Structure 1
Amino acid sequence: MDSQPVGLSRKTVLLLAIATGIIVANLNYIQPIEGLIAHHFAISKAHVGVIATLSQLGYALGLLLIVPLGDIFDRYHLIQFMMGLSILSLLAAFWSPNVLVFTVAAGLIGVTSVAAQIIIPYVAYLSPGIHQGRVLGTVLSGLLTGVLLSRSFSGILGSLMSWQLVYLLAAIFSLVLLGILHRYMPRDPRGHQHRSYGSVIGSLPHLFISQRYLQSAALNGLCLFGVSNVLWSTLAFYLAHQYHWGSSIAGVLGLLGVTGVLFAPIIGQLVDKYSPRLTIGLSWLFSALAFVIFWLVGQVLVGLIVGIVLLDLGTQFSQVSNQAIVQSLDREASSRNNSIFMFSYFLGGSLGTFCSTWAWSHYGWHGVCLVAVGFLIIALLGHWIMKEPKQLHRLDVDE
């Protein structure tokens, strides 16, 4: 039975926004310290790029196979269970005596970090529809803050002391958060749902095929997050090559994405009031302008700074707009819809990481920018062919 939204206090929304940030940060710690990891294990930069890709593929796998469980089980307990497994994975990465153990730990960190994507449809489920965009914008601003601070934290700490301590401290942060969520996170009003895991997973293809707005959001998310990872997977290499700077600078530059954090609630309000098609178009424009700047004047620090601000702004416009579309679909399938969208989203991130690190190894910065152009062309074609709704409303899966 479909219960009505119960609403969330501002304090609760803020807590869950912080939670998504801390949880998703675990996935991104590796990016600024790839060079340090490569040196520690005596492997190539391309090899550590594969490890980073496996971590994101693990996240994508968790999105596909674990996040749909939110439509069956009590999300209050499911989120805490996944966080417990995440803490164990972080401790394994800290302890790793060789590259094989670290690779397995990195993959498990990716899988278990999907707890953040169980929180997002949970928040949407508990929020009245007329305020859903604003609430989602706030929670997603927390998620982006976690991504940004993870880059800075990891890069700066890695330059000052052993990179392994990044994962030990992440485990401690997660343990503290787990205790707070256990005390203050809202209980799931649905309780346990009487559905089999097989039927829920088996319904994913039908949900994707039957919902054209979900298809559009998935394609756009794949391309725009792929573009974002094209930069962040290679920025540390570019800074070392162009300026002879270490991982700490890559971490500091990550703080420039605070623009996207500040704009996230505003983006949510724009989606509620106007058109997600408009805000998705803006996301493509900002991302395209960013890589024009990277390609033409990326060798100048000011060019890098302006481009990073535009890119993170474009990424946030895409994320908030697409999530608002996805969460406006069938409430009883909210976790599965989010699973499909975020699987596509992080599949794009994995492709962006893999293709850009390969392009850097063979063609340098120009090759990296060409990879971004490919993603942007596909996103633009999809934007016109697979049109998003002009206005949001409650949509049925059969629409």
Structure 2
Amino acid sequence: MSSSPSANQPTATGLPASALLLMAIACGLCAGGNYFNQPLLHSIAAAFSVSDATAALTVTVAQAAYGCGLLFLVPLGDKFERRGLVVGLMVLAAIGHFISGFTSNISLLFAGIVIAGLFSVAAQILVPMAATLSEPSRSGRAVGIVMSGLLIGILAARSVAGVLSEIAGWHTVYRVSGVIMLLVALALWRILPRSRNPVQLGYLPILLSMGTLIRDLPRLRSRSLISALAFASVSALFSTMALLLSGPQYGLNDMQIGLVGLIGVAGALMANAAGRLGDRGWAHETSVACVLLLFVSWGCLWLGESSLVWFLIGLLVIDLGLQGLHLSNQQIVYALMPEARARINAVYMTVYFIGAALGSAMGSLAWNLGGWAAICVTGVVLALLTGLALWYDHCLGRTGG
């Protein structure tokens, strides 16, 4: 009778199972921490006697800080020893969570959220690091496992924050997260191998070289555009679905809406499946299938205006499409220049989140102009543009671009 492998035995990816699990947990903690405040805005406003609009600015500053981290900190993964860099960033992010969780001043809360958001980009160093530490033929699977942890963290963050707020106050989630983040950082330091880019560059040359990468790698441009358009399509939904679900048709409260969003956890599992398919050379076919899922999802969501079942199906399908496409994109761009994966990831993820911001803005405008029908039209148009960008990328791939 065979026994199962221990946590420290290598997996099929070439990394110990315990290392992959810890990297996935770390990514979930880092990325999810930027979403803790979203269901807590009214409680934060009441605690500090400020308006809901002022409290809502914490969401904006968290996203802005994260964007700055993507541009200015993630490229350091190509300069410094990565294990130490990740651990250091996680410790600083934990300090931001502690500031947020123990402050009685709204200004310090903003400072804590900025610090946590800026340094939470440790997750975006861990993702390409998983590819670097894995066997080349298994890197997609490793990235898929780590990405699954990141996505689950984002999806679960709102619900966890809401539950802990009900139990012990809005600040509790930041205190708990800070402690767990320190423990996971310590575990990563003990279990991860050292990893450093063999090519040594200065910080300014690294930043300038990202422009060179954009210029010289056409498929980095095309795959980044695909990801931005797809995320814009999905963000049009995420930025307005609460308006539909809390409206007269459904009348759901905040906690119920948060639980509805948990259906997207199934989409996180798609990251692992897409990684396996990519390892078999099917990244393009996976991308095509995922774009088709985006189209199908908007038909379900159109019906979801009057049917919660159809809405849930649409939400599940659109998340499957987005996460599978995102993982396929990452596999392709990481292979373009392995020695520059951190910088490539910085470019790719920055464009990805620009797409998210534009999609949210378009969703809000569409809702004001035509309600749910306008949202669905916007989503379909963005999905169509995603398909056109994928066709262009396929042409580049065939010509060796």
TM-score bucket (shorter structure): 0.7 to 0.9
Cα distance in 2 between the residues matched to 1:384 and 1:39: 50
Cα deviation for residue 37 of structure 1 reads 4.5
Which residue does 1:3 correspond to in 2?
none
Which residue does 1:43 correspond to in 2?
51
Asked if residue 197 in structure 1 is aligned to residue 197 in structure 2, the reply is no
Cα distance in 2 between the residues matched to 1:361 and 1:44: 20
Amino acid at match of 1:224: A
Amino acid at match of 2:229: C
Amino acid at match of 2:236: V
Cα distance in 1 between the residues matched to 2:337 and 2:106: 43
Cα deviation for residue 36 of structure 1 reads 4.6
TM-score when normalising by structure 1: 0.87
Amino acid at match of 1:9: P
Amino acid at match of 1:180: A
Amino acid at match of 1:106: I
Confirm or deny: 8 A CA contact 2:79 2:196 kept in the other structure.
no
Asked if residue 106 in structure 1 is aligned to residue 105 in structure 2, the reply is no
Amino acid at match of 1:172: V
TM-score when normalising by structure 2: 0.86
Distance 1:96 1:296, change over 3 A: farther
Which residue does 1:244 correspond to in 2?
251
Distance 1:349 1:54, change over 3 A: farther
Cα distance in 2 between the residues matched to 1:48 and 1:378: 35
Report 1:11-30 matches (<5 A): 11-30=18-37
SS in 2 for 1:195: coil
Amino acid at match of 2:21: L
Asked if residue 129 in structure 1 is aligned to residue 133 in structure 2, the reply is no
Which piece of structure 1 moves more, 19-28 or 110-119?
19-28
Asked if residue 231 in structure 1 is aligned to residue 234 in structure 2, the reply is no
Distance 1:303 1:371, change over 3 A: same
Which residue does 1:168 correspond to in 2?
175
Contiguous gaps of at least 5 residues in structure 2: 1-12
Distance 1:299 1:161, change over 3 A: farther
Amino acid at match of 1:197: Y
Confirm or deny: 8 A CA contact 2:78 2:196 kept in the other structure.
no
Cα distance in 2 between the residues matched to 1:154 and 1:388: 45
Which protein has greater RCO, CA pairs closer than 8 Å, 6+ apart?
A: 1
Confirm or deny: 8 A CA contact 2:244 2:305 kept in the other structure.
no
Which piece of structure 1 moves more, 19-28 or 317-326?
19-28
Q: In the alignment, which of 249, 260, 265 is matched to residue 258 of structure 1?
A: 265
Which residue does 2:159 correspond to in 1?
152
Cα deviation for residue 97 of structure 1 reads 4.2
Report Cα offsets for 1:310-354 as digits up to 9, x if no partner.
121012111210110111121211110111001111222223334
Q: In the alignment, which of 45, 54, 57 is matched to residue 61 of structure 2?
A: 54
Cα distance in 2 between the residues matched to 1:258 and 1:88: 28
Cα distance in 1 between the residues matched to 2:213 and 2:302: 39
Q: In the alignment, which of 309, 320, 328 is matched to residue 316 of structure 2?
A: 309
Confirm or deny: 8 A CA contact 2:22 2:184 kept in the other structure.
no
Cα deviation for residue 294 of structure 1 reads 1.9
Asked if residue 356 in structure 1 is aligned to residue 363 in structure 2, the reply is yes
Asked if residue 213 in structure 1 is aligned to residue 219 in structure 2, the reply is yes
Confirm or deny: 8 A CA contact 1:159 1:247 kept in the other structure.
no
What is the count of residue pairs matched by the alignment?
A: 386
Distance 1:388 1:28, change over 3 A: farther
Asked if residue 268 in structure 1 is aligned to residue 271 in structure 2, the reply is no
Confirm or deny: 8 A CA contact 2:128 2:143 kept in the other structure.
no
**Based on CA coordinates, which of the two structures has the bigger radius of gyration?**
2
Cα deviation for residue 358 of structure 1 reads 5.3
Distance 1:332 1:274, change over 3 A: closer
Which residue does 2:82 correspond to in 1?
75
Cα distance in 2 between the residues matched to 1:304 and 1:42: 35
Confirm or deny: 8 A CA contact 1:33 1:247 kept in the other structure.
no
Cα deviation for residue 388 of structure 1 reads 6.9
